[in-house]
Structure formats: structure tokens, C-alpha cells
Chains A and B, each alone.
Chain A
Amino acid sequence: MKRFFGLIRRDLVLAVRQGSAVTLSLCFFVIVVVLFPLGVGPELSVLARIGPGVLWVAALLSCLLTLDRMFQADFEDGSLDLLIIGPLPLEILVLGKVIAHWLTSILPLIVITPVLALSLNMPTEGIWTMSLALLIGTPTLSLIGAIGAALTVAMRRGGVLLSLLVLPLYIPVLIFGAAAVEAAIGQLPATPHLLLLAGISLGSLVVGMFAAAAALRLALD
């Protein structure tokens, strides 16, 4: 357990010291969201209508941005080999990496989401549900993304392939996430959607850990 937290702490410290990764994905997220009013037009009613979807799509894309580095940096400098020789099972190691990725590149997005949602003229009920839905749903993005990151870890230009592999698998999260927010805005219960999101997250916890570990073993053969 101590080793597990040590691994997460190491990744967090690395991310903070390098700095760029956290701020980059945050900037990307903000810019993508800002582009939509410019493209669609500044009418507040239109923005409020497309707001939940825009925020979710922007979150998916910014998650992709840092995904390819999840295992790659450690793979390149050889520390992944060391970690695998260590006493932690590879599945747990993947989980630690996923948690670190979620904390560094997705949690900041969730923190800033209410501000962006306000700028898109979303009603207050919607904003709370939006944050909650992101909190429940985004672990899936890191978990499924870990499979793609592990499959493409040894490739020099894996980023583009990664998005082709992973984005179709993100669709359920996008649908239920946006549906939860729209239900909340329409004064309907959002709980069923949130429960489905939680179910998807738990399911991908099982699948993601094992599949990503299998893919990593393959890359390090």
C-alpha cells in the first residue's frame, strides 16, 4: 500500500516539477471551450443549449492530449522496467498511473469547469450536476485511455493512433454525461444517468486495469 501511494506521489511530483503538462491540458481545455462561442455565435440561448456537450467533448479531447505520456516517459527512460521488476503487481501499477493521470490532467479541468459553464450561460443546477458527472465519469476516460496508452507505448508516433483507438470507446461516457446535465437543466432527475456513469466507471476499472497491464507486458517483452 505504501509503495502504491509512493508511486502516485512520484508521478504527482514529476508532474508538478515539470509543470507544463498540467497547465497545458488546462489551457487546451479552456481554448477549445472558448472556440465554440466564436464558431457558433454568441447567442446565449444557443450556448446554453450546447454547453454540456461542448464541455464534455472538450474534456475528452484534453484528456487525450496527455494520455500518450501516461506510460511513455517511464518506458523511454527505463523506469517502467524497474517498476515491473518491483513487488507491485502490474495491474496495481497501472491503477496508480491512472490515478496520477486523473489527478494531474483531469481534476484541474473539473475545478475550472463551473467558471466555463457560467460563461456558456448554463443554469446553476446544471453546473452542479456537470461537476458531479465529470467527477463520476472521467475516471473511465483515464482507465480506457490507459489501455490505448499501453498499446501504443512503444510507438514513436502513437498519439494519432491512440485517439482513433480510444475515442470510439469514450462515446457512452459522453452520452450519459451530457444527458445527466441536460436532465438537471430540464428539472428532471439526473440520478439514473449518474448511476450509469458510475457503473461504466466501475466496469472500466476492471477491464482497464487488466487489459492495460496485458498490453504493457507485451510492450516490454
Chain B
Amino acid sequence: MAIDLHKYANPKRFLAITGAIYPWSVGVTVILLAVGLYMSLFVAPPDYQQGDTVRIMYVHVPAAWMGLSIYTMMAISSAIGLIWKHPVADLTAKAAAPIGACFTFLALVTGSLWGQPMWGTYWVWDARLTSMLILLFLYLGYMALWESFDDQGKAAKATSILALVGVINIPIIKFSVDWWNTLHQPASVATMSGPKIHSSILIPLLVMGLAYMSFFVMVLIIRVKAEILQRRLRILRMSELKEH
């Protein structure tokens, strides 16, 4: 791959490109969310066992996908930031973290709301639930580390190291939690093997997934833009102070 990454390291060019993408991402998000929500809430058939509760899945599953993939994205852009000293990559990782944490939290909350009528309890120490909870803690630690540095350049490097260590550890944690759970399998989780995915369920699910993704792109652009502008503002203020 011979992509010149430095071409996109210029914040000005980055702002120009994302400025062009932004209106599209808003439009796509609105349309896909409307279509996806309509399909999943009204068109998709209720499950013969779970009734209408199954519709929580259309909000829940894409949120979990996003929670996992945003962390991966953060790790990749952290690596790019660390290797090529790419400032926009650092900012992207920083801006993505709270969004990822929100999606992970959404997945946990909707999951426990679904668990109450289905399993009879809000929380089960199931492998998936536990590993999502740990993922949330990893996000929180990452964000806390960003906050605790004054020097943004140092913060970027430190958090990159943390994100990379985390991404090596996530498969190990996931695997160990899976195993831990199968050793002590609670009987209630056995009902989790839901219905086979039929296209009437799969299509709304995928539409919702795409809607979440374009929502993420939209919010990410806003947040990165805000970060860049904030830095510019600070530089402007500093130069103003110098003149006085």
C-alpha cells in the first residue's frame, strides 16, 4: 500500500476533506436511521418466543459491533500516530474514544434491559457481558489518561502506548473470559441461542449497523474538527499574549 499518509496529516487538508464528507454523512445517517428504525420496529416480525422484546436487538447488536470496532480503529490510528508522527491520527483516536465508550455503554444497557424479561435478571456474568464491561473500563482508562496530561503531544504518545497494549490484550481477555464462563456455565444462558437469522431480521440489523457507522463518522468529524479548532484557538491566544 503506497498511500502517502503525510498528505492527510495536514489539518487544513483534513478539514477540507471532512468538510466535504460531513453533509453526506449527516444525510446518510438520517435516512438509514429512519429506514432502519422503521424496519426494525414495525416491519420485522416479532419473535415467536420473545415477542416484541426482540426488537431491542436491533439497537443492541450494532452498538456492540461499534464498541468493538471503534477500539480497533483507535488502536490503528494510535499506531499510525506513533509510527509516522501523524498529528491528525492522534486526534482521531482521542475523538473516537468517548463515542466508542458511549456505544459500549449503550450495548450494555440495552443488553441488560433485554435480559430482564428474557433471563429474569438484569445482569448475568456471561462471557459476552463481562468482556463488554471490561472493554468499557479500557475506554474509561484511555480517556482518563488523556485527561491527566497537560502536554497534548505527550498525552497522545502515552495513550497510543496504552491503546496498543490494550488491543494486544483484548483477544486474551476475551478468550480467558469465554473460558472462565464455560467452566461455570449458568443454566440460564443456554436459552441464548436465538432464532436462526432470517433475512427479515438480518436486513434491518444490517441497515441499523450501517446507520450507526455513518453516525459515528458524523460525530467523529465534528469532534476532530472541534479538537483542531481548539488547538488553533489556543495558538491564536498565545500569539496575542505575546504581542502585548
Contact = CB atoms under 8 A, between A and B. Distances in A.
Interface of A: 144, 147, 151-152, 155, 158, 161, 164-165, 167-169, 171-172, 175-176, 179, 200, 203, 207, 211, 214-215, 218-219, 221
Contacts, number: 68
Contact of B164 (A144, A169, A203, A211): A211
A151 B158 CA distance: 6
A214 B161 contact: yes
Give the secondary structure class of A's interface: helix
Contact of B141 (A144, A164, A179): A164
B156 to A, nearest CB: 10
B141 A168 contact: yes
Interface range, B side: 20 to 34
A151 B173 contact: no
B161 A172 contact: no
Given A147-B165, A169-B166, A171-B134, A215 B173 contact: no
B144 A168 contact: no
Contact of B161 (A144, A164, A167, A215): A215
Given A147-B162, A203-B172, 12 more contacts: A152-B148, A155-B148, A161-B141, A165-B141, A165-B144, A168-B141, A169-B165, A171-B173, A176-B176, A207-B168, A215-B161, A221-B154
B76 to A, nearest CB: 17
B138 A200 contact: no
A161 B180 CA distance: 27
B140 interface: yes
6 interchain residue pairs of minimum CB distance: A172-B176, A175-B180, A164-B141, A165-B141, A175-B176, A168-B137
B179 interface: yes
